[in-house]
Structure 1
Amino acid sequence: MVSRLLILLYALVSYALFTISFLYSIGFVGNCVVPRSIDVGPSGNPGEAVIVNLLLMSLFAIQHSVMARTGFKRWSAKFLPAACQRSTYVLLSSLVLLLLFWQWRPILMPIWQTSGLMAWLLISVHWLGWLIAFASTHMIDHFDLFGLRQAFVAWRGAEISGQSFRTPLLYKIVRHPLMLGLLLAFWATPEMTAGHLLFALANTAYVLFALQFEERDLIAEFGATYQDYRRRVPMLVPRLFARRQTEGASR
């Protein structure tokens, strides 16, 4: 009973740290409320800043991708109870994110600046992106995604069951609405600096790369069901937009 309670407390602490890092990321990318953000903080030599920032983002990418793979999960099962695996992933991801926020070096060279209606439009898209990202986690199973469901199931002494394949709401439009939301939030800004552009470009490249492995794992788990889903639903760009682009190109 004690070990099950510790697993639950561990999951709750991990989730609390995720909440802190997620809320801080909104302020970090949007340059609001938080003391240090993508354009606010100690800045130095631009070349040094590029290297440091790329190393920080690479650390997050490596941790995030390696720990998400099936092979790593099998290896970590030798040391961690199944109920702790997702919470550990969430905990380490949150810590790496907080390290990135702490050590990020702003590069303030302006790339674009907008005002008036265009600025408000970009701000609206930015907040829409965060809303899509957060809402998409609740459309599948928010508490499973961040390790709480597994811990509560273990606390009750029940066996952790796998998740069935579902495509609710936004998942009928794109296969990865969470990533779509994050990309919108990263790119939509009325004032783009070189540091922000580096952040957006690197994270876009990582998302496109990491999704290839994610799709492979989903095919391995759900087989023909996911293959059919891939044929029907685009990865990130809603089909309506793709059709418009095709129609425009043919005219």
Structure 2
Amino acid sequence: MTRIFYLLYAAIAYAIFLAVFLYLIAFVGNLPGAPLTIDRGPEAAITLALPVNVALIALFGLQHSVMARPAFKAVWTRYVPPPIERSTYVMMTNLVLVILFLGWHPMTAPVWTVEHPVGAAILWGLFGLGWAIVLVSTFLINHFELFGLQQAWFAWRARTAATPVLHQPLFYKLVRHPLYAGFLLAFWATPAMTAGHLLLAVGLSIYMLIAIRLEERNLIDTFGADYVAYRETTPMLVPGLGGSAPRTD
């Protein structure tokens, strides 16, 4: 019965994530049909909107990074069974994103506007490409483990996960963090950049640069010299810029 619960819980967390992820695309892109977006929703004076929006970005960053750290997991799994630890992380991410959608105050002052149809089309294309890179990257590194389904399935089948092996499929031959590169492209590529959109793009870009530093510490702990060599020969986010080896101590 417990293993059935694990599997059901993981499936529900994943299904909610898919809905939240699709809404995130609509939220960032101001797509028609979404009642609340980055530039559409309850407006407020800048003295309220700015600190609230900054707090929402910080909440996402703290939740997403702190809960992913091994030290937190070591404590967290005393209370949350390991087969659903990742699904619980996904569920908490869902909750934080929903809070961001509901609590965000649009700041619609224009920063740039591209009205030329070709320029706008190129930016929309880059916006879509960014999200596509994000989705494909999750499958390249193991989509179902990333979102907790594999852990629950292995518990159901009484299987143990294989020892992780460092490999560089497709995008990972070009950059070390294509998932983050995709998010950066999606957040910045827009024909109509507003103050609120800029705030979100800057805030999440800062978060991702910090997250990369933290993740690479864990990757070096896991893969040792293999990851150090990979890091020294493969760019972090932009293809063709050469290897990068930021300090991780």
TM range (shorter): over 0.9
User: Can you list the C-alpha shifts for 1:7-58, whole angstroms capped at 9, x where unaligned?
Assistant: 0011011101111110000000000131100000011101210100011111
Offset of residue 164 of structure 1: 1.9
Residues in 1 aligned to 2:125 and 2:160: alpha-carbon distance in whole angstroms: 43
SS of 1:171's partner is helix
What TM-score results when the alignment is normalised by the length of structure 2?
Answer: 0.94
Unpaired runs of 5+ residues, structure 2, are 243-249
Instruction: Write the mapping of 1:40-59 to structure 2, written as runs, cut at 5 A.
Output: 40-59=40-59
RMSD, aligned CA: 1.0
Residues in 1 aligned to 2:163 and 2:151: alpha-carbon distance in whole angstroms: 10
Give the AA of the match of 2:151: Q
- Asked if the contact 1:177/1:236 (under 8 Å) is kept, the reply is yes
Give the AA of the match of 1:11: A
Query: Alignment identity in percent?
Result: 48
The answer for the alignment partner of 2:247 in structure 1 is none
The answer for the alignment partner of 1:75 in structure 2 is 75
Unpaired runs of 5+ residues, structure 1, are 244-251
The answer for the alignment partner of 2:95 in structure 1 is 95
- Asked if the contact 1:36/1:102 (under 8 Å) is kept, the reply is yes
Instruction: Write the mapping of 1:44-193 to structure 2, written as runs, cut at 5 A.
Output: 44-115=44-115, 116-193=117-194
Residues in 1 aligned to 2:172 and 2:161: alpha-carbon distance in whole angstroms: 24
SS of 1:68's partner is coil
- Asked if the contact 1:122/1:190 (under 8 Å) is kept, the reply is yes
Residues in 1 aligned to 2:161 and 2:80: alpha-carbon distance in whole angstroms: 14
Higher-helix-fraction structure: 1
Offset of residue 162 of structure 1: 3.7
Superposed structure 1 runs of 4+ greater than 4 Å apart:
none
Alignment length (residue pairs): 240
Offset of residue 161 of structure 1: 3.4
- Asked if the contact 1:18/1:94 (under 8 Å) is kept, the reply is yes
Offset of residue 130 of structure 1: 0.5
